C-alpha cells in the first residue's frame, strides 16, 4: 500500500497540481490538509475521475482535512472525541469552544488512517499555543483508543512541530518561536509513546528530510526548511515499510503549496 500526506494550502488553488500529482505518484491513500473549502465544496468529482473515494471535513476558508482512497473508506470519523475546540483569545473570544476541521480518519484497506492538521500555536505566550497542546493531548487519547482496538494505525499530517533540532535548518532561527518548544515536542513524544513509530522519509535532494519551506524568496532553493509533515505508524505498518520519501518536485514550479508530499510504501 502507498500512503501519502500533503498540506496543499487550498485545494482549489492547487487542484490542477493535485490531479497531476495523483496521476504520477498513484498513492492508494492521500491524506490532505488545509483544504480551505466548506464541507460540501471539495472537488470530489475531479479526484473521483481518477478512481478515488473522498471523505472531507471542512469549514470554509480555514483548516480542512480529507482522505482520498482507492483502498476503501469505511467507518469515517470526522473529528474525534475529546477535541477541546478553539475558544478564542482575549481580543476575540468565542461564546464557547469551536470545534475546528482538523482531523479525519477511516479504515482504508484494513488500516485506520488519520489525516490531521495540528493547530499552529502562533506564539508560546498565546492562548492558541495552549489550545495546540490540549489538542495534541486529546489526539493522543483518541489514537490510543484506536491502537487498543487492534487495527494497524497510521497518523499522517501537518503537525506544526519539528520533532528535533535536526528537523529545522537552524535551531537558532526559531528561538522563542512555536514549532520547536519543549512542551510541543513532549506532546509529540507522548503520541509516539502510545505505540507508534516516526517513519522518517528520505529527501530526494540534499541531507535534510524537510517537508515545509516558507514562501519567502530563496527559502526553498536554499533548503531552509522544516520537517513538520509527519507519518506516525503502528508496528504492523512501520515494520513493513519498504520506502519513504519526500517529493520535492511537487514544491517546485508555478503556484506550489509551501509543503511537499510525504510518501510511504508498506506491505502488510
**CATH number of the domain within which 203 lies:** 3.60.10.10
Categorize the per-residue pLDDT at 141 as very low, low, confident or very high, splitting at 50, 70 and 90.
very high
- Domain tally for the chain? 1
Write out the residue range of the structural domain in which residue 123 sits. 2-266
> CB of 264 within 8 A of CB of 201?
yes
pLDDT at 96: 87
CA 33, 216, 41: angle at the middle one, nearest 5? 25
Query: Residue 3 in contact with residue 241, Cβ under 8 Å?
Result: no
CA proximity to 137, closest of 172, 180, 189: 189
Kindly tell me if the per-residue pLDDT of 120 is higher than 80: yes
| 90, pLDDT greater than 90 | no
pLDDT-based confidence at residue 94 (cuts at 50, 70, 90): confident
Q: Is the pTM of this model over 0.95?
A: yes
- How many angstroms separate the CA atoms of 178 and 169, rounded? 15
pLDDT digits (tens, 9 = 90+) for 148-201: 999 999 999 999 999 999 999 999 999 999 999 999 999 999 999 999 999 999
Nearest Cα residue to 105 out of 93, 94, 115: 115
pLDDT, tens only, 59-87: 999 999 999 999 999 999 999 999 999 99
Amino acid at each position: 500500500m502507498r500512503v501519502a500526506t500533503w498540506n496543499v494550502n487550498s485545494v482549489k488553488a492547487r487542484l490542477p497540481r493535485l490531479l497531476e500529482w495523483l496521476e504520477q505518484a498513484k498513492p492508494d491513500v492521500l491524506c490532505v490538509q488545509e483544504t480551505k473549502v466548506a464541507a460540501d465544496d471539495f472537488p470530489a468529482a475531479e479526484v473521483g475521475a481518477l478512481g478515488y473515494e473522498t471523505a472531507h471535513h471542512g469549514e470554509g476558508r480555514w483548516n480542512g482535512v480529507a482522505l482520498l482512497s482507492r483502498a476503501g473508506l469505511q467507518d469515517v470519523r470526522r473529528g474525534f472525541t475529546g477535541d477541546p475546540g478553539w475558544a478564542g483569545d482575549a481580543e476575540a473570544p468565542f461564546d464557547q469552544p469551536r470545534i475546528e476541521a482538523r482531523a479525519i480518519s477511516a479504515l482504508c484497506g484494513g488500516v485506520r488512517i488519520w489525516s490531521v492538521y495540528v493547530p499552529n500555536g502562533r506564539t508560546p505566550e498565546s492562548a492558541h499555543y495552549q489550545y495546540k497542546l490540549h489538542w495534541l493531548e486529546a489526539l493522543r487519547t483518541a489514537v490510543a483508543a484506536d491502537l487498543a482496538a487492534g487495527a494497524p494505525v497510521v497518523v499522517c499530517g501537518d503537525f506544526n512541530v519539528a520533532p528535533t533540532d535536526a528537523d529545522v535548518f537552524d535551531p537558532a532561527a526559531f528561538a522563542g518561536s512555536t514549532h520547536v518548544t519543549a512542551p510541543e515536542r513532549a506532546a509529540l513524544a507522548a503520541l509516539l509513546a502510545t505505540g507508534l513509530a516516526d517513519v522518517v522519509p528520505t529527501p530526494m535532494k540534499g541531507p535534510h528530510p524537510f517537508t515545509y519551506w516558507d514562501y519567502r524568496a530563496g527559502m526553498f532553493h536554499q533548503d531552509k526548511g522544516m520537517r513538520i509533515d509527519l507519518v506516525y505508524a503502528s508496528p504492523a505498518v512501520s515494520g513493513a515499510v519498504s520506502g519513504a520519501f519526500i517529493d520535492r518536485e511537487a514544491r517546485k514550479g508555478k503556484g506550489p503549496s509551501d509543503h511537499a508530499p510525504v510518501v510511504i510504501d508498506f506491505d502488510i
